[in-house]
Homo-oligomer: A and B are copies of this chain.
Amino acid sequence: MLPDMSSDVLTSLAEQARALDTQHVATDRRHAFELPDGVVYLDGNSLGALSRAAREATADAVSRQWGEQLIRAWNDSAWWSAPERVGDRIAGLVGAPAGTVVVGDSTTVSLYKAVHAAARMRPGRRVVLTDPDSFPTDVHVTRGVCDQLGLTLELLSPADAVARLRGSDDVALASYSQVDYRTGELWDLAALTVAAHDAGALSCWDLCHSAGVVDVGLTDGGADFAVGCGYKYLSGGPGAPAFIFVAPQHLDAFVNPILGWNGHATPFAMSPDHTPADGITRARVGTPPVLGIAALEGALTAYDGLSMADVRRRSLSLTAFFVDAIAALGVDLPVATPREDDRRGSQVSLRHPDAYAVVQALIARGVIGDFREPNIVRLGFAPLYLSHEDALAAAVHLRDVLAGREFERPEHRSRAAVT
């Protein structure tokens, strides 16, 4: 997988990579995934790789459960309780207790439910804070909720939000991403949550780029609400169901803005009156996407026997080593991702004026990352299936793309329909 490496620098880096891989062997789950040969996959923060367990779980859900059990699978294969069962599994990865997480709708719909419910829990307060640099859907959905509820959206960075909250009494909710999707910066969930609580506000966290790679610490950080994505680091498959977390103390007061039969206390009584279910089940809406949940449930078995602390250590080692390696190889692009461990998610973002073409040139070499506006080469390090040797291979390919000015080739500059 590594390109030809003859120099002393490369020899030394390769030794370091092997030593680090040995040191982190206990968290190596590469064997559980079915990555194509010749690919270094650095886009697990956009679409996590397929695992054998996810493939088998989906095939079983289709052929045996759906095909043979048919309608009986709702009981016989426990489809009905799958949203809570898989939610509990995710709860264990994000530092939340059982019974506080449920999977089902898309991330955006989940965030709509969380933000809408949270904002209404602080009547009289008119302001919702969110990050202008959040993934756009977060800004869109939060602005939409504010318009519906007659609230004011203020766009502030996490740092500015802490200052804004200090001494204020008009903020209902601070809704933030734990990791910036572009730069990979990890924000301090506990500190911003404390600032919100000190001002009488609630907090909601988007864990799309932290769940499965960071010690999220929802309970320890005092988070009130959270949502996250099933198809990034959790590797649940394309468009996998998202999850929503509601802290135990808010479950009784949580009012789902989308009242559906799956969130009902007695769904099969078929009553036209809506009595919300106890606990996190009230955050459910419609019939769950069973095939997507099956893939996600299979994928999550890759975490069996691992502690998030160890996964986090591996992740930090991979990204730190990659940054060191490109520096040693003479790649002098600005690194948008913080170097401090406690400020870094599981990606390395580099700035380049031709970032789109750089990414395409890397893809042509089998190193799959992605481009983000305006100038970001984004390389995600899904720790379970990437090694330090992979990181070094990516670094060498990047050096060669830049040295050979491959990003100037016309075929790397033409934009695909979806980037």
Chain A residues with CB under 8 Å of chain B are 34, 36, 39, 41, 43, 46-47, 49-50, 54-55, 58-59, 61-63, 65-68, 70-75, 79-80, 104-109, 112, 132, 134-137, 139-141, 143-144, 148, 155, 231, 237-242, 257-262, 264, 267-272, 274, 285-293, 295, 363, 368, 370, 372-373, 416-419
Residues in chain B near residue A285, CB distance under 8 A? 106, 108-109, 112
Q: Shortest distance in angstroms between A134's beta carbon and chain B's nearest beta carbon?
A: 8
* Measured CA separation A58–B295 after assembly (Å): 11
Residues in chain B near residue A55, CB distance under 8 A? 62-63, 67
Q: Shortest distance in angstroms between A315's beta carbon and chain B's nearest beta carbon?
A: 19
* Measured CA separation A109–B259 after assembly (Å): 9
B75 touches A416 (CB 8 A): yes
* Measured CA separation A53–B106 after assembly (Å): 26
Q: Shortest distance in angstroms between A83's beta carbon and chain B's nearest beta carbon?
A: 10
* Measured CA separation A364–B358 after assembly (Å): 62
B136 touches A271 (CB 8 A): yes
* Measured CA separation A75–B237 after assembly (Å): 16
In the complex, 8 of the A-B residue pairs with CB atoms within 8 angstroms, ordered by the A residue number, are: A47-B74, A59-B59, A70-B368, A74-B418, A79-B238, A136-B272, A139-B274, A239-B290
* Measured CA separation A272–B231 after assembly (Å): 23
A291 touches B295 (CB 8 A): yes
* Measured CA separation A80–B238 after assembly (Å): 11
A417 touches B67 (CB 8 A): no
A258 touches B288 (CB 8 A): no
Q: Please list the 10 inter-chain residue pairs (A to B) with the smallest Cβ-Cβ separation, ordered nearest first.
A: A106-B286, A108-B286, A108-B260, A238-B290, A144-B259, A137-B261, A50-B67, A140-B259, A239-B290, A239-B289
